[in-house]
Amino acid sequence: MRTTKRFTPDVLERFLREGRGTGIYTEYIPWHQVTRGDPASLGRSHLLNWQGRQRELLSDGELVMTLFVTMLPGIDDLREQFPLSPTVAPHEMCDYAPNSIPQRFPGTQDIAAKLGYKHPMTTGKGKVTPWIMSTDLLVVLKRANGRQELLAVAYKTAEEIKKRRTKQLLEIEQAYWQARNVQWLLITPKQFDKRVGLTLRRVAPWALGTPVPVNILRQVADIVSQLPERSLTLTLQHLSSITGEMELSQRALWQAVCFGYLPIDLSRGWRPHLTLKRQTQQEFLAQNPIAMRRSAWI
């Protein structure tokens, strides 16, 4: 059972001492974590190992959004539970390229005042300090020319988005990233097929497991594409007769799918008896709200 019951100025000070919200790639430390010392999240929390670091995800929705992110072409880094500066600060891209953007940008306190909203605060032991707002996922994408760009993603349920205060906080978050010329997406269950999300959750152990070499993924994609549409069970049996190992066939198949070499209908479900239905590349991408930059209105 977690020992800290609620957020207080002392808790936020501890987070800062621990270096939370700092670092990049495998050195990044999420601002919020799934630990006994953190106040419990309202949703079901998840720990996900990917690209050499444990990901701290505070809801089923954040898990599915992270799985969508892992499928993005050019994914370079992902920082979850990313803290927003309450005061004027450098651009977040400077974490990757120091001094690349010389300007400084407004913090959440100035943005809230400009919008006419009360900035969230924390209290405890006679102290009152600004709450540190956060973005669920801050993605770094690398284009073909090597240029990096940021993409901010927030996830909210249909019930959360109806609340007046939630909308105000989302407006502050949106304005924070707009001031930095970073695209911000608000994803709700309406932006994607829940069956696709369920399939990704079920196949994640293989899709995010030990990487299979790209040449094998391409071979698997070619083999499956030349087969008549058949069930997952029969497809894996066929691949296993070639690879000699079912576990390798599982990883190779689902990594080929999630990396886009073998586009299939993910809404078909994950159960072994169901048919793998192939799709065009555009139809496959359309299943991913983040790849398509779909966003809800506040």
- Domain edge (last residue) among 175, 191, 207: 191
Per-residue pLDDT of 161-220, as tens digits, reads 999 999 999 999 999 999 999 999 999 999 999 999 999 999 999 999 999 999 999 999
Can you tell me the mean pLDDT for 135-161?
Answer: 95
For the chain, the average pLDDT equals 94
Q: How far apart (Å, rounded) are the C-alpha atoms in residues 207 and 135? A: 25
End residue of a domain, out of 191, 214, 242: 191
Phi-psi region of 116 (alpha: psi -120 to 50; beta: other; left: phi over 0): left
pLDDT tens profile 108-127: 999 999 999 999 999 988 89
Q: Please indicate, yes or no, whether residues 177 and 201 belong to a single structural domain of this protein.
A: no
Q: CB-based burial of residue 279 (10 Å sphere; 0-12 exposed, 13-18 middle, 19+ buried)? A: middle
Question: Which residue range(s) make up the domain with 169?
Answer: 9-191
pLDDT at 269 over 90: no
Please name the residues in contact with 68: beta carbons below 8 A apart, sequence gap of 6 or more. Answer: 192, 200, 288, 289, 290, 291
Q: What is the 3-state secondary structure (H, E, C) of 213-269?
A: CHHHHHHHHHHHHHCCCCEHHHHHHHHHHHHCCHHHHHHHHHHHHHCCCCCECHHHC
- With respect to residue 297, please indicate whether it lies within any of the assigned structural domains: no
- How confident is the model at residue 5, as a pLDDT? 59
For residues 107, 113, 117 and 123, what is the CA-based torsion angle, rounded to 10 degrees?
Answer: 70
More confident residue, 293 or 268: 293
For 53-78, what is each residue's pLDDT tens digit?
Answer: 999 999 999 999 999 999 999 999 99
- pLDDT category at 248 given cuts 50, 70, 90 is very high
**How many Cβ atoms are within 10 Å of 64's Cβ, its own excluded?**
24
Q: Which of 41-45, 74-78, 121-125, 272-276 has the lowest mean pLDDT?
A: 41-45
**Burial tier of 78 (Cβ tally within 10 Å: 0-12, 13-18, 19+):** buried
- Mark which of 169, 191, 213 sits at the end of a domain: 191
Whether residue 162 lies inside any domain: the answer is yes
Q: How many CB atoms lie within 10 A of CB 264?
A: 21
Alpha helices in the chain (DSSP H): 9-17, 60-70, 108-115, 164-179, 194-207, 214-226, 232-243, 246-258, 281-285
CATH number of the domain where residue 111 is located = 3.40.1350.10
Question: Dmax of the chain from CA atoms?
Answer: 69
- Are 174 and 202 members of one domain? no
- Domain assignment of residue 36, yes or no: yes
- The answer to the question of residue 257 being in a domain is yes
DSSP letter for 86, please. S
- The answer to whether residues 119 and 113 touch, using CB atoms and an 8 Å cutoff, is yes
Which residue(s) pair with 150 in the sheet?
A: 140
Specify whether 93 is located in the same domain as 39: yes
**In-domain check, residue 1:** no
Q: Using the predicted structure, report yes or no on whether residue 1 has a pLDDT greater than 50.
A: no
Q: Out of 23-27, 136-140, 178-182, 274-278, pick the least confident.
A: 274-278
Question: What is the tally of structural domains in the chain?
Answer: 2
Segment 265-286 shows an average pLDDT of 91
pLDDT of res. 2? 43
Q: Are 225 and 177 in contact (CB under 8 A)?
A: no
Rg (CA), the chain: 21
Q: How far apart are CA 123 and CA 130, in angstroms?
A: 9
Judge whether residue 96 has pLDDT over 60: yes
Sign of the C-alpha dihedral, residues 164, 169, 170, 176? positive
pLDDT value at 246 more than 80? yes
